[in-house]
């Protein structure tokens, strides 16, 4: 059965649906892959996430909160148990990208207009996910890039446009970050907030130049913001201009009794030289 499922995943899934009723990926309601109530959780405009201290000053937006039905929905999408969610998540990413075009930080809009390039960069996946082809953050980044491209012309302020309107800008999804060997364990699940921050304190490495380009970071779930902060330091340290970060879901704010210490320091939102 394992060999059959790996060689013919679509055929096996269709066969199983004949004998097993489909259920909502969020709430478990029968006879629908995603009910209207759970789908609505992905349909609202992104909201600003205020409690991600370890992001080091990165502006973070989320489509929904990582709680209730969103938790099993996102987990099913991430681990491949619910491949039928891929079109749903793609559509959500495109809507969010279109919205984000009008909410990028002004310096990123100016940099994109000047350089002619706006990159949507997913947080790096571990080696295991790469080998399995489960690059959900990269797939989501593809969808966000399509939405940004659609919404871009209306997002450019007059001062960043030429005499005949906004100049041409290439909006591309670029999987250019890789985790370093000493960057901690692959998974954040099960770790405390302090352990999550430490586990992602080391910035990933870049595999392509980004100097002068505008960049938007994308990830599936944000908890403390440590992963986004490390990615942002790597990108801005290489000369990119960060326009913000977008995630599918944000974990509820943790209860704390002490101030948060950000590993690696804050994020310099203006380009700097590599060290």
Q: pLDDT value at position 59?
A: 96
Tell which wins on pLDDT, 243 or 6: 243
> In this predicted structure, what is the pLDDT of residue 129?
75
Neighbours of 240 (CB within 10 A): 28
Q: What are phi and psi of 27, to 5 degrees?
A: -105, -10
Confidence at residue 108, expressed as pLDDT on a 0 to 100 scale? 94
Q: What pLDDT is attached to residue 5? A: 38
Residue recorded with tokens 């989501």 = 140
Give the pLDDT confidence of 199-240 residue by residue, as tens digits. 556 899 999 999 999 999 999 999 999 999 999 999 999 999
pTM for the structure as a whole: 0.79
Q: What is the overall mean pLDDT for the chain? A: 82
Tell which residue, 16, 36, 22, 58, has the closest CA to residue 203: 58
pLDDT for the residue numbered 255:
61
Helix 136-151 vs helix 86-100: crossing angle, to nearest 10? 40
Q: Which of 204, 194, 242, 268 is nearest to 61 (CA)?
A: 242
């Amino acid at each position: 059965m394992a060999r059959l499922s790996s060689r013919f995943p679509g055929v096996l899934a269709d066969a199983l649906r004949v004998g097993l009723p489909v259920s909502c990926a969020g709430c478990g309601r029968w006879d629908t892959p995603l009910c209207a109530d759970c789908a609505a959780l992905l349909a609202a405009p992104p909201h600003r996430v205020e409690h991600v201290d370890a992001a080091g000053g990165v502006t973070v937006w989320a489509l929904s909160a990582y709680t209730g039905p969103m938790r099993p929905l996102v987990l099913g999408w991430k681990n491949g148990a619910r491949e039928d969610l891929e079109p749903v998540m793609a559509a959500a990413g495109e809507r969010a990208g279109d919205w984000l075009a009008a909410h990028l930080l002004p310096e990123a809009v100016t940099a994109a207009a000047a350089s002619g390039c706006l990159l949507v960069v997913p947080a790096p996946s571990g080696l295991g996910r790469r080998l399995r082809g489960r690059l959900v953050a990269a797939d989501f980044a593809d969808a966000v890039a399509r939405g940004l491209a659609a919404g871009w012309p209306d997002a450019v302020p007059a001062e960043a446009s030429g005499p005949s309107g906004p100049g041409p800008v290439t909006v591309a999804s670029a999987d250019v970050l890789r985790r370093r060997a000493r960057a901690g364990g692959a998974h954040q699940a099960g770790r405390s907030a302090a352990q999550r921050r430490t586990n992602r304190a080391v910035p990933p490495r870049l595999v392509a130049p980004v100097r002068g380009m505008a960049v938007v970071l994308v990830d599936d779930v944000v908890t403390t913001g440590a992963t986004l902060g490390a990615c942002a330091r790597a990108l801005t340290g290489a000369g990119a201009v960060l326009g913000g970060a977008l995630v599918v879901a944000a974990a509820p704010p943790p209860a704390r009794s002490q101030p948060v210490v950000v590993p690696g320091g804050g994020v310099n939102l203006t380009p700097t030289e590599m060290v």
